[in-house]
A and B are shown apart, each in its own frame.
Chain A
């Protein structure tokens, strides 16, 4: 793919994300007109309306964009590093482990005393799971060992999350299992934006420099090393970056599955299979996917608080099955 066409693709995706962001701001049970909504957003008009736009809808739209971008880019990076199209934060247990960290932070009261403890605990959970995965699945990450290790980590983290929630003296805690498994952006506030964004930005800053090395790695680890890729440093950046992105996203939105699988998969051919180009494209694709899903949950069942992960799984699970059938032909 030529450079101008790639730039055109990014511009198109960017425009799509921008439109969805605007649509997210304008979607809600209240059904306020476009003009009045935007006026209220910038401080004009009714006071309650301003509150709704600035304190409820704006954080929701920002988080949709940021969480989607984080999941999309970490999926693309993991797939590039492991050279396996099935690697995805939700499937390999990173999201579940980040959720465990977040649940521990909330239910011990740590997050109430010190808000940043929430994303950092989620980051720690994600970090532990990615490191464990790389040990379990080995450096070459055969599909089978990757998926099995992911299932084991997901199951363990999910069980530990349930345990923490069931032991809580708070009667609502047990109901939260659904949120942590399926994710939602309902009724989040600006506080959630402020605690999640710095951690996600840190993750992005760690992942973006790996783009060139990931390109070299497409030829195999030995070829990559001979082209001057420092594998140890790459691994460190990748593990840390993915953990920070997934940790920040999961801490405020729960685990939203399949975004990191679908976004890179749809865009891979369009960018010519180069990881360095796939990273920014997947970020935009993931953002579009989560923003779109979050608009859909508000339109389909406005009074039922439908979970985001339900929609992304409806789109993502068939993709996953398709990929399994495809990779089955490749592996001995």
Chain B
């Protein structure tokens, strides 16, 4: 009896890829692969996304994710969705991935990309994994066209932006946020400090660096001590003389074409600077 059922299951498993070009029941368990998959997958192909994808404070595509079932990324829950492909990020719990592999579920792991080239690679890879290479190619073309449209900053004598988030954290050029700042036509104060991916920027260094634009981290609900430096009297004094913008974090989290919204917001701020350099 059991043997017969196993034979049937095996037959379905073998038959499926033959029926369609790509997988038919795709489950994504990472906020960033959720968004890439939503952009590229065929209607009905993606059956579940991580629950973070529905949270508008984190996900840039919370509206699009509505209607898809949400998963919390545990192996048991994913297995019961009977996926023929699982999309995960490189920060996904490796124990979960190992369990899925033991259960025979194909898993595609996407690295967290922080550069434009890396974003293109991930889109191409997503197209291949889903059997939607043409759609991925079209999305990349649109991404590049918009990128070219926004790229109107001079290569030298660029204005300088300071990123300042909770706990005084400032992202450098080796991070997605740093890339967004560079694409919008700014030099980054964090790079002058030699931060690389990012580090603690003391209020004192921030003030004395005389930035042209202050990019403040957004505020979250509830209260925290970590956000207190954003209310420091010295910082508020700085914002009286230096223009500042608040980031919309979901656009800054994942390496997807949605970063263009953040680039566009910063570019607008650059064009509005008093003496446009």
**Residues in A lying within 8 Å of B, measured CB to CB:** 28-30, 32, 48-49, 51-52, 55-57, 106-109, 111-112, 168-173, 175-176, 179, 186-187, 189-191, 302-305
Minimum-distance CB pairs A-B, first 8:
A172-B226, A170-B222, A305-B200, A55-B234, A169-B222, A170-B224, A172-B166, A187-B229
The 8 A CB mask of B182-215 against A (1 = contact, 0 = none) is 0000000000011100011111110110100000
B210's nearest neighbour on chain A, judged by CB, is: A48
Residues of A near B3 (CB, < 8 A) are none
List 7 A–B pairs whose Cβ atoms lie within 8 Å, in order of A's numbering.
A29-B204, A56-B203, A56-B204, A107-B222, A108-B223, A186-B200, A191-B233
Expressed in whole angstroms, the Cα–Cα distance for A52 and B232 within the complex equals 11
A190-B233 in contact (CB<8A): yes
A190's nearest neighbour on chain B, judged by CB, is: B233
Residues of A near B202 (CB, < 8 A) are 28-29, 186-187, 302-303, 305
- Total A-B pairs, Cβ < 8 A: 101
Expressed in whole angstroms, the Cα–Cα distance for A176 and B224 within the complex equals 8
**Residues in B lying within 8 Å of A, measured CB to CB:** 166-168, 193-195, 199-205, 207-208, 210, 220-229, 232-234, 237-238
Residues of B near A32 (CB, < 8 A) are 208
Residues of B near A176 (CB, < 8 A) are 224-226
B221-A170 in contact (CB<8A): yes
A48-B167 in contact (CB<8A): no
A189-B204 in contact (CB<8A): no
> In the assembled complex, how far is the CB of residue B15 from the closest CB belonging to chain A, in whole angstroms?
44
Known: A28-B202, A170-B224. A305 touches B167 (CB 8 A): yes
B199-A303 in contact (CB<8A): yes
B199's nearest neighbour on chain A, judged by CB, is: A303
B232-A189 in contact (CB<8A): yes
B209's nearest neighbour on chain A, judged by CB, is: A30
Expressed in whole angstroms, the Cα–Cα distance for A175 and B200 within the complex equals 14
Please report whether the interface of chain B is mostly helix, strand, loop or mixed according to DSSP. helix
Expressed in whole angstroms, the Cα–Cα distance for A55 and B228 within the complex equals 14
Expressed in whole angstroms, the Cα–Cα distance for A187 and B228 within the complex equals 9
> In the assembled complex, how far is the CB of residue B45 from the closest CB belonging to chain A, in whole angstroms?
31
A187-B168 in contact (CB<8A): yes
Residues of A near B238 (CB, < 8 A) are 48, 51
A51-B222 in contact (CB<8A): no
B205-A51 in contact (CB<8A): no
Residues of A near B225 (CB, < 8 A) are 106, 176, 179
A170-B195 in contact (CB<8A): no
> In the assembled complex, how far is the CB of residue A54 from the closest CB belonging to chain B, in whole angstroms?
9
A187-B223 in contact (CB<8A): no
Expressed in whole angstroms, the Cα–Cα distance for A295 and B118 within the complex equals 42
Residues of B near A172 (CB, < 8 A) are 166-167, 220, 224, 226-227
**One of B194, B226, B234 near A52 (C-beta < 8 A):** B234
> In the assembled complex, how far is the CB of residue A110 from the closest CB belonging to chain B, in whole angstroms?
9
A303-B195 in contact (CB<8A): yes
Residues of A near B237 (CB, < 8 A) are 51, 55
- Please give 15 more A-B residue pairs, beta carbons under 8 A apart, in addition to A52-B234, A179-B226: A29-B202, A29-B205, A48-B207, A48-B210, A48-B238, A49-B208, A52-B207, A109-B222, A169-B222, A172-B224, A173-B222, A176-B225, A189-B234, A304-B200, A305-B202
B224-A173 in contact (CB<8A): yes
Residues of A near B228 (CB, < 8 A) are 187
> In the assembled complex, how far is the CB of residue B96 from the closest CB belonging to chain A, in whole angstroms?
21
Residues of B near A49 (CB, < 8 A) are 208
**One of A55, A111, A170 near B232 (C-beta < 8 A):** A55
Residues of B near A304 (CB, < 8 A) are 199-200
Residues of A near B203 (CB, < 8 A) are 56, 187
Expressed in whole angstroms, the Cα–Cα distance for A51 and B208 within the complex equals 10
Residues of B near A187 (CB, < 8 A) are 168, 202-203, 228-229, 232
Expressed in whole angstroms, the Cα–Cα distance for A175 and B237 within the complex equals 27
Residues of A near B194 (CB, < 8 A) are 303
Expressed in whole angstroms, the Cα–Cα distance for A173 and B222 within the complex equals 9
**One of B168, B204, B221, B229 near A169 (C-beta < 8 A):** B221
B208-A52 in contact (CB<8A): yes
> In the assembled complex, how far is the CB of residue B195 from the closest CB belonging to chain A, in whole angstroms?
7
> In the assembled complex, how far is the CB of residue B116 from the closest CB belonging to chain A, in whole angstroms?
27
> In the assembled complex, how far is the CB of residue A104 from the closest CB belonging to chain B, in whole angstroms?
11
Known: A48-B210, A189-B232. A170 touches B223 (CB 8 A): yes
Expressed in whole angstroms, the Cα–Cα distance for A147 and B67 within the complex equals 56
Residues of A near B195 (CB, < 8 A) are 303
Among A30, A55, A304, the most chain B Cβ lie within 10 Å of the Cβ of A55
Residues of A near B200 (CB, < 8 A) are 186, 303-305
B228's nearest neighbour on chain A, judged by CB, is: A187
A31's nearest neighbour on chain B, judged by CB, is: B208
Among B194, B225, B226, B227, the most chain A Cβ lie within 10 Å of the Cβ of B225
Expressed in whole angstroms, the Cα–Cα distance for A302 and B224 within the complex equals 23
Expressed in whole angstroms, the Cα–Cα distance for A38 and B83 within the complex equals 67
Residues of B near A29 (CB, < 8 A) are 202, 204-205
Residues of A near B208 (CB, < 8 A) are 30, 32, 48-49, 52
A106-B223 in contact (CB<8A): yes
Known: A29-B204, A30-B208, A302-B202. A51 touches B234 (CB 8 A): yes
Among B210, B222, B237, the most chain A Cβ lie within 10 Å of the Cβ of B222
